[in-house]
A and B are shown apart, each in its own frame.
Chain A
């Protein structure tokens, strides 16, 4: 999900209908096509317990339940998103919460799915530690997110967005390997980020006009300008807990 800090009267960007329309409802680059691709690589056993961290309106939960036969749970801080997820996937077990404090006992899940959510948290190290806590040994952690291709220099924007919190990819992979994860799959999917940005241009006229849907014209111009000079990418990875001892 992509979120922007907005005046209190406005809902977050990922609750805006424009982003829902642009992303086919999934609210992130790649949509459920990338979710399906990653799950197919993992070949999970039917009935495995999976948690979608930041499940949003439940598009991935539907894929996990209907196409892979998994026992699905979802957690999200937004009551509006959870209500939509409950309608879309009635069999899902849903809870309200944030990635930094997951409302589950240790080792509750065989698989964790976290799509474009890690960069929304306030502390990615704490978020990764929390996901590690609820994932059972040998379990799979599937991550996709924005990353900085500038070696750590995330764009400084007039507003706070997940784009401002983009980390270098090796900051994520180093933390995972230090924690004892193996990384059987790490893919650069920056093509999907560009695809979404291109679709925004075709649908809104320009990136600046897209940002102007949610903020005043000056901030929209500054945000578009800054992002035009930023080197951002998108990654997808699968990590196995306890698969690496080094």
Chain B
């Protein structure tokens, strides 16, 4: 029931498996917490593509939240 998605059409292929990335539910461990996020990943080896919007945007927002005020 996620209303927001990091899934995006991408030209990226997994270098090791040479397979296109597909939407995959993954668990992101970050600052001692674990979050369920759907990201593009290789269906063969599980390699996960972390988009810039996640790394520089949402991660920062969550980091600010998790830091003790």
Q: Which residues of A contact B (CB under 8 A)?
A: 17-18, 20-22, 191, 194-195, 197-199, 201-206, 209, 213, 231
Asked if B37 is at the interface of the complex by the 8 Å CB criterion, the answer is yes
Given A198-B66, A202-B35, A202-B62, A21 and B1 contact (CB-CB distance below 8 Å):
yes
> Considering only CB atoms and an 8 Å cut-off, how many residues of chain B contact the other chain?
18
Whether the Cβ atoms of A201 and B3 lie closer than 8 Å is: no
Whether the Cβ atoms of A201 and B62 lie closer than 8 Å is: yes
Whether the Cβ atoms of A203 and B61 lie closer than 8 Å is: no
Residue from the list B3, B34, B65, B66 in contact with A204, Cβ < 8 A: B3
Given A194-B66, A197-B65, A205 and B36 contact (CB-CB distance below 8 Å):
no
Q: Nearest Cβ distance between residue A98 and chain B, in whole angstroms?
A: 28
Main secondary structure of the interface of B (DSSP, over half): mixed
Whether the Cβ atoms of A204 and B33 lie closer than 8 Å is: no
Whether the Cβ atoms of A206 and B61 lie closer than 8 Å is: yes
Main secondary structure of the interface of A (DSSP, over half): helix
B6 closest partner in A (C-beta): A202
Q: Nearest Cβ distance between residue A77 and chain B, in whole angstroms?
A: 24
Q: Which residues of B (1-34) have their CB < 8 Å from a CB of A?
A: 1-4, 28, 30, 32-34
Cα–Cα, bound, A17→B1 (Å)? 8
Whether the Cβ atoms of A18 and B1 lie closer than 8 Å is: yes
Whether the Cβ atoms of B35 and A198 lie closer than 8 Å is: yes
A-B contact pairs, 29 of them (CB 8 A): A17-B1, A18-B3, A20-B1, A21-B1, A191-B33, A194-B65, A195-B33, A195-B34, A195-B35, A197-B65, A198-B30, A198-B65, A199-B35, A199-B36, A201-B58, A201-B62, A201-B65, A202-B36, A202-B37, A202-B58, A203-B3, A203-B4, A203-B36, A203-B37, A204-B3, A204-B4, A205-B4, A209-B4, A231-B69
